[in-house]
Amino acid sequence: MSGRRDQHEADPHRRTEPTLGDIDHLDSPRAPSSDGLPQVNVEARNGRPGMPSQPTRKKPAGSKRGWLLPVLLLVLIAVIATAWLNQGWLRGKLPNTELNDVLSRAQQALQAGHLDGQDGTSARELFQAAVALQPDNDRAADGLRQVGQAELAQADASLQAGHLDQAAQQAASARDLLGGGTDVDRLDAQITQARAAQGSSQVKTVDLVDQAQQALADGKLEGPHGAGALYKQMLQADPNNAVAAHGLDQVGDALAVQAHKAFDANDSTSANATVEELAALQPNNGALPALRAQQAQTRKQDDGALDAELKQGMDAFRAGRIVGQGDDTALSHFKAALAIDPDNADARAGLGKVAQALTVQASAAIDAGDTGQATQLLDQAAALAPKSADLAAARARLNSTSAQGAASPAGDPNSQADDSVQPSAPVVLSPQQSATVARLVQRAQVAAARGDIMLPPGNSAYDLYRNALVIDGSNAVALQGLQALPVQVEKQFNQALSNGNLGQASDMLENLAELAPGEASQSALSDRLAGAWLDQAEQQLSSGDRIGASQSLDRARKLSPNQPRVLDLAARLQSSP
């Protein structure tokens, strides 16, 4: 055994590595191997630069794996701790067939609007079942919040519809799910106010009952103050009012009797008006199908006489028998046609043609200086088409001519003692009058571009142009602008119709009928608008909006009463539940 001590022996606390054989002799290069293994010298890995490497012993293979077991143990402990701390998150990552199925059905119920119930199929019940399966599930909690918001929206809609009890129930459910909030508080306050208003309206309802019953007893059924309108007003305020419902039934029965009597008396005008009143008050009245059938039959009988009057009227018009004594004039025939069918578009167009012809004759009389004859002709035209643009322009020319004649000095050879006044030098306007005319014309042009053709009174394009012509009846810009209004109106009609704005298109068509009565193009425009109203009625009926469909159908019937689609849709609307 060597007398040198190994350098490792100086530290008695240092861990002793496992050994193979005589370690003391292994340190000595001259020590013979006692285990029969070959001698191996390994240089030190961390030898300092410039220093001779020290021979080291090769460690046994088992020493490299000694640290592995503690490390693996530490890793396992860390994994277990992480799993324990994040067990909720891990649980959400694991497949859960039952939970996913409940959440899926809850979402479907929410999208379908089935928010609450008692049969286990509502969105609220299903989301609550999901919470019971997994209390910390985010999808379930968010779903309940969405249900609360949907309940709040439905409560607001119920309030607007006047269903206060339903609104209060839905608001309470929303408060339960959302935990309150400013929106819920606001809705509760509105419901309270509505209940207070309803209480005061009940007192008014008592007064309406008395008024409606008195109107019914007096036979005053139609009109805004008739029994039908009063009972309908009561039902709008309280849909469950049995007294109002019974009273409206009585009004409907009385109107049906009146319509039948009018048909029997061959008074189709009164009969048709009564049928339309009944349809507006009670679209589902049981007497309507028979009345509509009788209405159609009577219309067929009247069509022959109507067609005859229209044909004779056009024949008289082409022959130059516009107005005059006797029944064989265009005016008399078109009036007879309108008596058969007050809404007949062809009869109204015929009267418009008569008004146009009278205006043309008046213009010729103005040119000839016969202001008396021109005045008489324009007065006749005004009775048929008071808003005609050509008529207004002719009237302005007549007034200007009369003013010029009145301005002629006494003794002037152009002045005459009778009603005919020869035009003289044009009236000279003051600078202030010229500026006023220019402003009026500019405002009229802006109003026309904005679509304010006939309304509002005083500020419409029609009125502004006429006001300008009152000052200067020969103003060319005002005359051209006034007579160009029908063209602008037709353009705006086409634009409104293409945008689906049927109300505006109807207004433009009415403006066109006033401005240019008798224009042949209006018949085609009327048919197009009737088709659009029928398309809208079809869509409303398909979506279950029977009231809206009935209103759209009425608009189409006024434009084209004999169109097959009108009759077909009316029958379908009557037979639909």
pLDDT band at 530 (very low <50, low <70, confident <90, very high): very high
| pLDDT at residue 497 is higher than 90 | yes
Mean pLDDT, the chain, whole residue set: 78
Q: Is the sign of the CA dihedral 89, 95, 97, 100 positive or negative?
A: positive
| pLDDT at residue 96 is higher than 70 | no
Give 503-518 pLDDT, tens digit per residue. 999 999 988 888 888 7
Distances (CA, A) of 257 to 225, 265, 271, 308, 551: 20, 13, 10, 31, 24
d(CA 157, CA 169): 13
| pLDDT at residue 83 is higher than 70 | no
Which residue ranges form the domains of the chain, and what is each CATH number? Answer: 94-180 (no CATH), 198-282 (no CATH), 430-476 (no CATH), 484-577 (1.25.40)
Coil, helix or strand at residue 229: helix
pLDDT band at 57 (very low <50, low <70, confident <90, very high): low
User: What's the confidence (pLDDT) of residue 193?
Assistant: 79
Give the β-pairing of 42-43 and 55-56: antiparallel
Question: pTM of the predicted model, to two decimals?
Answer: 0.48
pLDDT band at 544 (very low <50, low <70, confident <90, very high): confident
Higher pLDDT: 51 or 483? It is 483
Q: Minimal CA–CA distance to 351: which of 174, 522, 144? A: 522
Higher pLDDT: 16 or 302? It is 302
Bond before 29 cis per omega within 30 degrees: no
Residue 55 pairs with which residues in a beta bridge? 43
Which residue is associated with the tokens 């509502």?
Answer: 122
Report the percent of the chain where pLDDT is more than 70.
Answer: 79
Q: Minimal CA–CA distance to 389: which of 490, 511, 265? A: 511
Contact 138, 146 (CB under 8 A): no
Contact residues for 355 (Cβ-Cβ < 8 A; gap 6+): 381, 384, 385, 388, 391, 517, 518
| pLDDT at residue 546 is higher than 50 | yes
Which residue is associated with the tokens 């018009």?
Answer: 317
Q: Minimal CA–CA distance to 386: which of 480, 463, 309, 493? A: 463
Distances (CA, A) of 347 to 113, 342, 520: 53, 8, 12
User: What's the confidence (pLDDT) of residue 234?
Assistant: 80
Contact 337, 347 (CB under 8 A): yes
Give 233-287 pLDDT, tens digit per residue. 887 777 788 888 888 899 889 999 999 998 888 888 788 888 888 888 888 888 8
| pLDDT at residue 326 is higher than 80 | yes
pLDDT band at 109 (very low <50, low <70, confident <90, very high): confident
| pLDDT at residue 520 is higher than 80 | no
Higher pLDDT: 361 or 96? It is 361
pLDDT band at 33 (very low <50, low <70, confident <90, very high): very low
* Residue 132 CB-half CA count within 13 A: 8
Contact residues for 7 (Cβ-Cβ < 8 A; gap 6+): none
User: What's the confidence (pLDDT) of residue 49?
Assistant: 47
User: What's the confidence (pLDDT) of residue 500?
Assistant: 92
- Lowest model confidence (mean pLDDT) among 90-94, 181-185, 311-315, 571-575: 90-94
d(CA 406, CA 56): 141
Q: Minimal CA–CA distance to 295: which of 559, 565, 562? A: 562
| pLDDT at residue 422 is higher than 80 | no
d(CA 467, CA 571): 50
User: What's the confidence (pLDDT) of residue 6?
Assistant: 46
Higher pLDDT: 92 or 438? It is 438
Kindly report the CA angle at 496 between 494 and 502, in degrees rounded to 5?
115
Stretch 149-170: mean pLDDT, rounded?
84
